[in-house]
Amino acid sequence: MAYKLGDVILSRETIARRVKEMAEQIAKDNGTENNLTFVGILTGAAFFLTDLVREMPENMDVKVDFMSVASYGDGTESSGVVRIFHDLKSSIEGKNVIVVEDIVDSGLTLSHLLGLLQNRNPASLKVCVLLDKYERRKTEVKVDYCGFRIPDKFVVGYGLDYAGKWRHLKDIKYVVEE
Ligand code: 5GP
């Protein structure tokens, strides 16, 4: 089956506004004395994370690290299998960690990942997602910061891909059958 781009679900302006609000909330909750490590889940969340951290106040001690995991093949359904391709560069022991993910769907990827990171004894572990497809949840995940709740339809853009395509779009769009 072939797919093409559909309507815009979230415009670049709407995304930018919400990302700023989320950064303000995170800054408010964490204070300047708390050093924060933002852990981005590659590849999708890299786009969101880089915008998010640039909205954090200059006087905050902000660090950035990345991890690469995969739970999806080239299709649109979760395989439920999570593999680590690339681990963090630095230890998170005793750190205040915010895991940044592009989208939470079944929750399988995040819950697996959170279990793994919790075992490394961070001082705190929070979750920040841009998009939440809450209707699709198969396992409970505590989402501390959520950008937008969206319906159960496949979306691309702003880091989100379909079979490696369309990550570079500035707006988030639906994908529809050709
Ligand atoms: P979960 O384990 O929560 O089911 O899956 C999370 C991962 O599924 C995300 O990191 C993302 O890679 C992928 N995913 C889920 N829904 C969508 C979607 O609508 N569009 C895209 N591009 N990826 C999605």
pLDDT tens profile 106-132: 898 899 899 889 999 999 999 999 999
| pLDDT of the residue at 75 | 55
CA–centroid distance, residue 34 to ligand 1 (Å): 31
| pLDDT of the residue at 4 | 96
Contact 35, 95 (CB under 8 A): yes
Specify burial of residue 154 (Cβ count, 10 A radius: 0-12, 13-18, 19+): middle
Pocket test for ligand 1, best of 74, 85, 105 (most atoms within 8 A of CB): 105
| pLDDT of the residue at 155 | 97
Amino acid occupying residue 159: G
- Kindly state the tokens that stand for 164: 């490696």
Domain assignment present for 159: no
Residue positions counted in the chain? 178
Q: How far is CA 32 from CA 37, 59, 61, 80, in A?
A: 13, 7, 7, 38
Task: Give the position, in ligand 1's atom list, of the atom nearest the Cα of 101.
Answer: 10
Domain assignment present for 87: yes
Domain assignment present for 6: no
pTM recorded for the entire structure:
0.93
Q: Which domain holds residue 60?
A: 12-152
Domain assignment present for 160: no
- Per-residue confidence of the chain (178 residues) as pLDDT tens digits? 799 999 999 999 999 999 999 999 999 998 766 789 999 999 999 999 999 999 999 999 999 999 998 765 555 555 556 778 899 999 999 999 999 999 999 898 899 899 889 999 999 999 999 999 999 898 899 999 999 999 999 999 999 999 999 999 999 999 999 8
| pLDDT of the residue at 108 | 86
**CB of residue 30 inside a 6 A radius of ligand 1:** no
Domain assignment present for 174: no
Domain assignment present for 158: no
Split into its structural domains, the chain has a count of 1
pLDDT tens profile 154-174: 999 999 999 999 999 999 999
**CB of residue 105 inside a 6 A radius of ligand 1:** yes
Q: Catalytic residues, which ones?
A: 105
CA distance 129 to 125: 13
Domain assignment present for 4: no
| pLDDT of the residue at 121 | 97
Domain assignment present for 176: no
| pLDDT of the residue at 71 | 67
**CB of residue 172 inside a 6 A radius of ligand 1:** no
Task: Give the position, in ligand 1's atom list, of the atom nearest the Cα of 160.
Answer: 22
CATH number of the domain enclosing 134: 3.40.50.2020
What is the Rg, in whole angstroms, of the alpha carbon atoms belonging to the chain? 16
